[in-house]
Amino acid sequence: MTDLQECRRKIDEIDNQMVKLFEKRMKVCEEVAEYKIHTGKKVLDPEREHAKLEEIRKKAHGEFNELGAQELFQQIMAISRKRQYQLLTEHGPKEEEDFQMVKELPRNNVTVVFQGVEGAYSYGAMRAYFEEDIKSYHVKLFRDAMEEVAAGRADYAVLPIENSTAGIVADIYDLLTEYNLFIVGEQVLKVEHVLLGLPEAELSDISCVYSHPQGLAQCKEYLEEHRSWKQTAVSNTAAAAKKVSEEKDRTHAAIASRDAGEFYNLKVLAENICKNDSNVTRFIILAKKPVYENNSSKISVCFEARHESGTLYNVLSHMIYNGLNMTKIESRPIPGKTWEYRFFVDFEGNLRDSAVKNALRGMEAETSYLKILGNY
């Protein structure tokens, strides 16, 4: 019978040799990095790596070992590239920074646009983030708000990007790649939906309910208890309240905030209609200029990677090797490319940090498209 301890001793010896060879290989990689720094040659050479991996595969014996050797050296090469990117950041030419750091963003004497109407949650998020001394106005669509900032008619736009119950606002993610705007702040707002009706209405009168699609989704359990009600989606929750107020039909109700009810003189017919007590919505603050406050601690990026096995891991691993904590990842279909996706990632950090610079340099080199959406 095979002696387990003897097998382990042999493995330990081989591992020790592998560590020494790995360090020897990394030393040579540093010399390669020095050459590339002086010549301006790119770190990643896909054709060279593919040829090398194929050569290694042929040297292994058996299908399992062929694939294993190929995977092992893919990782070794990825680690080597990360070291080269690190040295390039430390000793290579300094890249021109697109983002400007400021001590703090102005929160008064500015013009702010939000989607919806007064009483909407976007309006509440705007009031929570900015001071009272601002000029504000509303537009109907998310796109309209971005247009206002892009055209310079507004300094900032306040838009919802995700809800803890219903998930992301997909339209916002798509628009972030269409417009050259930047996230400069965020505001988390607790969402407390109520059912609103006319002052003379009773709960038993209701046969139709209006709200934003997210509002309807967040109150799904409550609405399932009233399946006879017709559900109608509108542009936002406050618009739903406004619609009920204007139609003056006692059979119509709106899912919106208590503030919207007070604004449009409606009565609360039911409270606590969202079963999730921790229902919150995250709003982003968008600006035309790429700026960030000196105490910013979250970075958002979007990127597209080659449609090949392992590419997403290779891109995200730059965060691992630089000790950065990824807090969120989302994907959206790329228009015109069936079953290919654009990724949106949030991670902790500040654009001044060397670890962030290292990671972004590596991610940019290994993606076909990368945009820093903001640091806030």
Enzyme catalytic residues:
281, 283
- Are 296 and 183 in contact by the 8 Å Cβ rule? The answer is no
